Structure 1
Amino acid sequence: MGLTLDSYISILCVIMILFPSVCYSQDDYVPSRATYYGSPECYGTPTGACGYKEYGSTINGGEVTGGSYKLFKNGTGCGACYQVRCKYSPHCSEEGTKVVVTDHGEGDNTDFILSARAYNKLARPGQEKILFSYGVVDVEYKRISCQYPGYNLMFKVHEHSNYPQYLALIAIYQAGVSEITAVELWQEDCQEWRGMRRAYGAVWDMPNPPEGAINLRFQVSGSKWIQLKALIPSEWKVGATYNTAIQLD
């Protein structure tokens, strides 16, 4: 018995409704591989290429990762969050783990070198030792929004700074999916913005920074500028953190 015209139209409508969701489920995650590294307490490392120091070892409960070159992005990818889950094994959990990029590193064709705590979350309960024995696992991942409830975006005076001759800053508790692509300080005597240099990772620096309270602005994902008046006090201190009172989307 043949299909009527109305039946064809009904089937076509169903296909059109379902097709976007099928495409989304296939394209949402990116296939890759992941391994892990050892560290005391199974946390991240305080010597990571992003320059986060101790913040980088404990942020997100120590569930952090060293990202490959394409995720590290010469430091722009520092602080980005990803959902990572392993595949093709009955020992893998369905949800996987949420990690923050705090370092740069690659293993055997891997995009992620996870802290032991993060790698542990890839496994089903009771299956962790088996997954660790693999050393490297196939995974899929996607970029997700970072969430730090109770924290605003802050700029920390990096440990390499030397008051008042040399100022280095690093952004911490950077939520959302935005990336900081440029940082500038206002030079009052010249009436102009001076660009800070990306020293390495997520660290921005400037020799002979402006005197007095410092106005700062930063560029988000290559377009939007956010300006912060007198964010850094005139007598800034190494290791101090200064609250922007904002949070990125």
Structure 2
Amino acid sequence: MGSALKNVYLLSCVMVLLPALIRSQDFTCSRATYYGSPDCLGTPTGACGFGEYGRTVNDANVAGVSWRLFKNGTGCGACYQVRCKAPQCTDDGVTVVATDYGEGDHTDFILSPRAYGRMARPNVAGELYSYGVVDVEYRRIPCRYAGYNLMFKVHEHSKYPEYLAIVILYQAGQNDILAVEVWREDCKQWIGMRRAYGAVFDTPSPPKGSVSLRFQVSGSAGVTWVEAQNVLPSDWKAGAAYDSTIQLE
């Protein structure tokens, strides 16, 4: 009788622990720190090339990520749930967008000061900052941008009409942009754009007239091509962002 009760007790313990173990398997253990910023926001000079968008997107909850997450720029725009393990930390942590490349003391994340502080419970963020580096666990999650479609920004270094560089903003879902191509009407074919750096793609000879682009997406549906017809006007301007009307999930 005692043995049977013991077996029932052990089984109940396994049943209780199993959901917790399954949840923890979604996360990867690592470390995180934060960088200096006078306004606690992100940096407009991040390696992804997002500019001002990289400073303020996601309410400035942004991060520089390690090389294995940066993935030579393919990881730009990815979203992660990051939660720390110190006593001052909340259970949910913070959701951040990868906008830069950076590695510290065995870290996968160098967070904006705002994002780092939001891992903490109310009124104890100062204690968390004092650690400098904390143990964390993280997982990739879908990005959500309510009210925004995917947008194509013409990079500030573009020179109309000889040189075009673009960066893709508001990349929703859990997707990676692998490649971008531009339609050349004169030769009736798609021509690959170069990944200049980070999330910036360019071409030295953009087509005349309005510009159609297509981009290769790797996500839950596999690898697919998505077209954005005439997404840039014929008089596109450096620094301007153009709505694609496309929603990635």
TM-score by length of 2: 0.92
CA displacement at 1:15 relative to structure 2: 9.3
- Matches for 1:1-40 after TM superposition, within 5 Å: 1=1, 21-40=19-38
- The residue that corresponds to 2:171 in the other structure is 174
- Matches for 1:195-214 after TM superposition, within 5 Å: 195-214=192-211
- The residue that corresponds to 2:105 in the other structure is 108
Q: Report how many aligned residue pairs link the two structures.
A: 244
CA displacement at 1:133 relative to structure 2: 0.8
1:55 to 48, 53, 56: 53
2:131 to 122, 130, 134: 134
Counterpart CA distance in 2 for 1:82 and 1:104 is: 14
Instruction: Say if 2:161 is the partner of 1:152.
Output: no
| Identity in percent | 60
Which sections of structure 2, spanning at least 5 residues, go unmatched?
none
Give the RMSD, CA atoms, in angstroms: 2.1
1:122-166 Cα deviation digits (max 9, x unpaired): 111111111111100000001111111000000000001000000
Counterpart CA distance in 2 for 1:40 and 1:242 is: 31
CA displacement at 1:210 relative to structure 2: 0.9
2:90 to 89, 93, 100: 93
CA displacement at 1:236 relative to structure 2: 0.8
1:8-53 Cα deviation digits (max 9, x unpaired): 9x99998997786344223111100000011121000000000011
- The residue that corresponds to 1:64 in the other structure is 62
Query: What secondary structure does 2:49 align onto?
Result: coil
Which sections of structure 1, spanning at least 5 residues, go unmatched?
none
- The residue that corresponds to 2:238 in the other structure is 238
TM-score by length of 1: 0.92
Instruction: Say if 2:164 is the partner of 1:164.
Output: no
Query: What secondary structure does 1:242 align onto?
Result: strand
What letter is aligned with 2:212?
A: N
What letter is aligned with 1:239?
A: G
Query: How has the CA–CA distance of structure 1 residues 11 and 132 changed in structure 2, closer, same or farther, with 3 Å as cutoff?
Result: closer
Runs of 4+ with deviation above 4 angstroms: 10-20
Instruction: Say if 2:241 is the partner of 1:229.
Output: no
